[in-house]
Structure 1
Amino acid sequence: MDLGIVAPIAYGILALVGGIIGYLQAKSKISLISGITSGLLLIIAGILQLQGQAWGLTLAAVVAALLIVVFVIRLAKTRKFMPAGLMIIGGVLALGAMFYPLVAL
């Protein structure tokens, strides 16, 4: 299992756990729903890549890119690093890890 497969799974777990924590701390149902949805999509995308399905990379990249955009907007509005900054950094690292094997060829 290479880093390009581990990255979306790890980022998915981060999104999933973050959504649950957001709900527990702030009773934010939107955090719970978006965290579970995006987290599961990223985990599924990683599993699809593991099974050799090329579109798993596309799914993971689209979800990660959307999360980055959402959290950049959130960071600009709130000026609070947590959780937006962490999710931005995680998303950029995940995208880099997903595409590094393609660029390194």
Structure 2
Amino acid sequence: MAVDWIGYSYAALVSVGGIIGYLKAGSVTSLAAGLLFGLLAAVGTYLPSQNPKNVWLSLGTSGTLTVVMGLRFLNSWKFMPAGFMALASGLMLVKIIIGMQKRPHKL
């Protein structure tokens, strides 16, 4: 199976976002969450290359970030960083769901 550059780019974006949050605001929480979710997104991108039906980690990671960052955006109405991450995570979620529809999965 081909390398999922979009998935790895998303994982890098999440990780870099956490690092930037730490550097700009000194937020250790942003650093920890960004690195944790970036790692989960990277592993979630790697797993389907071994088994195309194994999309659940990636689905859960991007879904969680869509909801959490979407709620942060709705509370602040600031596009950066919450709105941007909610948008990127939502697009990743759509990409995964479309890929799932191309390959039917069993629970």
TM-score (norm. length: structure 2): 0.85
Say whether the 8 Å CA contact 1:68–1:92 is kept in structure 2: yes
Between the two proteins, the alignment pairs up a number of residues equal to: 102
The answer for the alignment partner of 1:101 in structure 2 is 99
Say whether the 8 Å CA contact 1:72–1:84 is kept in structure 2: yes
Moved more, 45-54 or 28-37: 45-54
The answer for the alignment partner of 2:66 in structure 1 is 68
Amino acid at match of 1:11: Y
Amino acid at match of 1:33: A
SS in 1 for 2:79: coil
Amino acid at match of 1:60: S
Runs of 5+ in structure 1 lacking a partner? none
Task: Provide the rounded CA distance (Å) in 2 between the counterparts of 1:35 and 1:90.
Answer: 14
Structure 1 segment 2-21 matched on structure 2, within 5 A: 5-21=4-20
1:48 maps to 2:54: no
Say whether the 8 Å CA contact 1:12–1:39 is kept in structure 2: yes
- The structure whose RCO (Cα within 8 Å, separation 6+) is larger is 1
Identity of aligned residues (%): 33
Runs of 5+ in structure 2 lacking a partner? none
SS in 1 for 2:64: helix
Q: CA deviation at 1:104?
A: 4.2
Q: CA deviation at 1:23?
A: 0.3
